[in-house]
Structure 1
Amino acid sequence: MDVLLVDGYNIIGDWTELKSLREVDLDQARQLLIEKMAEYQAYRGYRVIIVFDAYEVKGPESKDNQYNIEIIYTKEKETADQCIERLVKEFINVKTKVYVATSDYTEQRTIFQQGAYRKSARELAIEVDQIKKEISNDLRTFEKRKQGRSLPIKQEILDQFEKMRRGRV
């Protein structure tokens, strides 16, 4: 299974919608990112882990799970980049492709040297938008198929079926 590690605050700071929301309510910006990544995960089938930097917050690393998305808040004195690098080493193997979503150029180089693939915040945003369009198209196609399934049956035959169903025949 492929893994996507997301540098949460880096993405929030890059995507226009999340950046403007962050100015008003950081929790809402985080929540919206989690929801977008849940949709991404459901459609792409990747294991998605979002890492939020808690460098200045005292305490141990904490983990959460929402919508089947793993969320990590780093431990005291650990940056999101350090946590992501640790996770890349943990996950990377012959069967698993590891992608890291960040626009931090230094981090991109570091994870690339470890054998992971990078997705810039912009690339991830484009992919998320594309998934949204594909989901809309899939829903439209499903609705068309659903509508096209009913067979044209004369009313008198439908009445006969209804009588049979109710045991009146």
Structure 2
Amino acid sequence: MDALQTVTASNAKSPIARTSVIAAVIALMLVVMAASEFLIAEAKGHNRLGRGKAASGGKRLQEEVDEEEDGPDDIQPPPGDVVGKSCKRTPNCGSFRYFACCHRVCVDIVSDPKNCASCGRTCRTGLSCCDGFCVNTKTNPRHCGECYRRCQPPFSCINGLCGY
């Protein structure tokens, strides 16, 4: 055996080395799973509002989805006193473009998981509605742990916490 094989073989027998390798493999698997889930949802169109999609009341939700710079500065939620207000159509919910009249009640279609981006569009179990996107806040680096909590590069979002 040469020197590299000797060092590798002796380190592999160490419980600390095995634990470190196992931890690294688990971390890599979590990153791959998170990326896969996001990419599959993107490919199927589940994470995209699209350009100019209208809420059920006909008001435009977003003029353009900016994939690189979504966050609290991009969407200013309307005052909370509009949520739950009785309505007959979307304009009754005020002039806010992120509200719609769904089933005769004003809802925030930017954050309501039962009306995410449009009336009746429900986020799957485990996903949250952030900026009108159904996202997994346990793995999404733009919405880590909660909407708008962004992990700074090079950190990723693992189980709702920004880490490496």
Using the size of structure 1 for normalisation, the TM-score is 0.24
Using the size of structure 2 for normalisation, the TM-score is 0.24
Whose RCO is larger (CA < 8 A, sep 6+)? Answer: 1
